[in-house]
Amino acid sequence: MKKKILVLILIVMVMVTSCIGCGKKNDESVTSKKGDTTSNKEEQPKVTLKMTHFKAEATEGINKIIEAFNEEYPNIEINVDLLEWGNYDTILKTKFASNEIIDIICLKEGDLLNKYGKAGYLADLTDKTFMDNIQDVAVKASATDGKNYAVPVDNSPIAVFYNKKIFKDKGFEIPKTYSELMSIAKQLKEEGTAGFALGYKDEWPLSMFQSRAAVDVLYLQGQPEWGKNYLDGKTTFADTPEWKTVIAQCKDFYTYGNDDPLGVDYNKALDMFAAGDAAMIFQGLWILPEIEKRNPEFFNNDLGIFPYPATEDPSDVKLEATGDFVIAAGAESTHLDEAMKFLEFMTTKEAAKIWTDNIKTISAVKDSSLSFAPCLADIEPYFNNGQIYDAQPYLSQLSGNWDGQITKYIIEYLIDRKTVDEVLEAQDKFMQRTLNN
């Protein structure tokens, strides 16, 4: 019996090791296929860079950019790892905590970028000449404490997308004040169409809304340093009446939006909007490919955009154009030069065009085109007249998960589990706990 078992174990081990061996061989053949874009014997040594990103919709576009990059630098191979956004932060953190080296890291502008920049995991790009290829607004907005740790890649205005046909049929004008917007939404809801498509089962659409509303009614209305003041102990959530306004706006959207917003997720909300069951949706430019997929006719003819009018003053209306996707180099990369070459390539017009054609967000590279989606004609004037602002410098004043947390509390208010005061109190308590860490 003993012999039989030993033999069995041996067989299994042989099978296993040969399988693993098979796996390895496949890996090698795959890598050699990738590097085989050049048949001539290059003098330069082959370098393999490791890159992580989280934007599933951008995978094809990124691969095309890498292909174009390889035409100029055939010896630099880039292995792309697509990680899931929901766990991206966690996985990155775990990797960094155990000193794993990633050469090129994609992030989102804002808290994520600031965190990793301050922690020293990203290479300093402040003085790199290729940063001049990027729009100044974007470079300034994506800086952390005055230093640039990443190249802004795109710019995704967040505004109200609307259904032009419904507006025309009902005789609506583009609203320039908050009450105009609400009366449109109210009428729509009373007449059977949801005013807004709300996918609040995924918490981030609500989180995005409340933070932008906060920028509009708080920071831009005379308190540009509110976050900093908060950290200095000069103010609290509970003491700031503008937060009550923000929450009230959330409530209005909730009231005039589709039924069961907490049961509908982001994808379903897009379905609703594309099908005309909801007339408006507060989102960013990233929804464009998704809308085109669902309803190309709507995308080409009836899709429009207008900036969110958060106040009663029409002159306040500006387009929020915040940087979204950024790309950085790992500070501890052993191939920093090669990583920088790729970052530089990302700032070229060539890369910008591939990006806008495939991913359909506005490129942060200077002078790149806006013609990839018909609805962008609506917001071009705002760009041309300088009526844009970046929300990031305001949003990133408060660190940590403050926005995720207050969103949860706001949801509790929307379902009548908390009063507005309780929401703000709980938020202050939460901040105490996390900031004093």
Partner 1 sequence: MEGKRIHLSKILPCIITIILAIVTIWPFYITVLMAFKTPRETFQSFYGLPKVFRLDNFINAWKITNFSLAFKNSFIVTMVSLVFIVLATSMAGYAIARSNKKFYNFIYVLFVSGMMVPFQVIMIPLYKMGRKFGLVNNRWGIILIYICLGVHLAVFLYTGFVKGIPKELEEAATIDGASTPQIFFKVVFPLLKPITMTILVLDTMWIWNDFFLPLLFLQDTKIRTLPLTQFYFYGKYNTQMNLAFAAFILAMIPILIFYFAMQKYIVKGIVAGAVKG
Partner 2 sequence: MGTSKKSSRQRWFFIFILPSLFLFTISIIIPVIQGFILTLTNWDGIQKSYDFVGFKNYITLFQDELFYNALINTLKFTLGVAIFQNVFGLLLAVLLNKSSRVNNFFRTIFFMPAVLSVVLAGFIWTYVYSDGIPALYDMLNLKFTSSPLGNPDMAMIALIIIQLWLCTGTTMVIYIAGLQSIPEDIYESAKVDGANHLQSFFKITLPMLGPAITINFVLVVKQAMMVFDLVFVTTSGGPGHCTDVLSTYLWETTFTNNQAGYGSSMSFIFLLILIIMAMLQLKFFRKREVEM
Residues that bind partner 2 (CB under 8 A): 89-90, 93, 96-97, 115-116, 119-121, 200-201, 203, 259-264, 268, 400-401, 404-405, 408-409, 411-412, 415, 417, 426, 429-430, 433-434, 437
Residues in Cβ contact with 94 at an 8 Å cutoff, skipping those fewer than 6 apart: none
CA distances from 332 to 96, 97, 151 (A): 10, 13, 17
Q: Does residue 14 bind partner 1 (CB under 8 A)?
A: no
> Taking CA 231 as the corner, what is the angle to CA 107 and CA 248, rounded to the nearest 5 degrees?
80
CB-neighbour burial class of residue 39 (10 A; exposed 0-12, middle 13-18, buried 19+): exposed
Partner from partner 2, partner 1, none binding residue 336, C-beta < 5-8 Å depending on class: none
CB of 207 to partner 1, least distance (A): 18
Nearer to partner 1 by C-beta: 80 or 420? 80
Whether 249 and 310 have beta carbons less than 8 Å apart is answered as: yes
Considering only residues 351 through 410, tell me which ones interact with partner 1, judged by CB under 8 A: none
E-assigned strand segments in 76-228: 76-82, 104-108, 151-152, 154-163, 194-196
CA distances from 144 to 125, 264, 393 (A): 11, 36, 9
User: Residue 156 has which token pair?
Assistant: 């995704």
Partner from partner 1, partner 2, none binding residue 426, C-beta < 5-8 Å depending on class: partner 2
CB of 265 to partner 2, least distance (A): 8
CB of 19 to partner 1, least distance (A): 6
Q: Out of 91, 231, 331, 336, which residue is the one contacting partner 1 (CB under 8 A)?
A: 91
CA distance 34 to 23: 17
Q: Does residue 94 bind partner 1 (CB under 8 A)?
A: yes
Q: Does residue 119 bind partner 1 (CB under 8 A)?
A: no
Q: Out of 7, 14, 21, 23, which residue is the one contacting partner 1 (CB under 8 A)?
A: 23
3-state secondary structure of 201: coil
Q: Does residue 38 bind partner 1 (CB under 8 A)?
A: no
CB of 129 to partner 2, least distance (A): 30
Partner from partner 2, partner 1, none binding residue 172, C-beta < 5-8 Å depending on class: none
Q: Does residue 101 bind partner 1 (CB under 8 A)?
A: no
Considering only residues 58 through 87, tell me which ones interact with partner 1, judged by CB under 8 A: 81-87
CA distances from 218 to 225, 237, 238, 372, 395 (A): 10, 11, 14, 34, 11
Residues in Cβ contact with 335 at an 8 Å cutoff, skipping those fewer than 6 apart: 47, 49, 103
Nearer to partner 1 by C-beta: 140 or 268? 268
